[in-house]
Structure 1
Amino acid sequence: MSDPQTQFAAAVASSKTLSERPDNASLLKLYALYKQASDGDVEGRRPGFTDMLGRAKHDAWAALKGITSADAMAQYVALIDRLKTG
């Protein structure tokens, strides 16, 4: 099959064409996996308490600290596959 980077790019593209909008927990997981795969471990300060969405995103990404880019890509692809099949 194709290399992980190509599979990841295809999954990112197909995430935009899902038949149904994923639930909030899945969206946070997708965000965190994408950021971990693309940028590595989270950096910077956690947003303040008035930015609840920013905090949730930061926390979801921080929970993946130490996961390699390749592992995050594989998990992202697997999650998109599960969301596509419903």
Structure 2
Amino acid sequence: MSAITLEDAVALTKKFTSKPSNEELLKLYSLYKQATEGDNTGERPGGFDFVAAAKYNAWLALKGKDKQEAEEEYISTVNNLSAKYM
């Protein structure tokens, strides 16, 4: 079990002094969504909304990952990024 909760990890990301890369942000987004909602069952965004499509695809890539596993990976990722962005 992680020493910090999902909520603690989310709060920690708000203290970053610089913005993580788009790839890192997508990883955080997709892990958070998988941990809190489970598999992505929404409709794929259409048109030219590339940000929404990237988020959708990142979350979809985690299909089948257990919520608890996603939460632990999210917390671990935040801990690693905090050393870089705080």
Aligned residue identity for 1:12: V
- Superposed displacement of residue 28, structure 1: 0.5
Q: Percent identity?
A: 41
The superposition leaves residues 15-65 of structure 1 with CA deviations (integer Å, 9 ceiling, x where unpaired) of: 111122100000001000010001000012100131111100000000000
Amino acid of the structure 2 residue aligned with 1:10:
D
**TM-score (norm. length: structure 2):** 0.90
Partner of residue 27, structure 1:
25
- Of residues 6, 10, 29, the one that matches 2:8 is 10
- Which residue number corresponds to residue 58 of structure 1? 56
Give the distance between the partners of 2:37 and 2:65, measured in 1 at CA: 11
SS of match in other structure, 2:5? helix
For 1:45, the equivalent position in structure 2 comes to: 43
Measured in 1, the distance between the counterparts of 2:34 and 2:58 equals: 10
Could you list the runs of 4 or more consecutive aligned residues of structure 1 that deviate by over 3 angstroms after TM superposition? Answer: none
If the length of structure 1 is used for normalisation, what is the TM-score?
0.90
Pairs aligned (count): 83
CA contact 1:31–1:61 (8 Å) conserved in 2: yes
Unaligned runs of 5+ residues in structure 1 are none
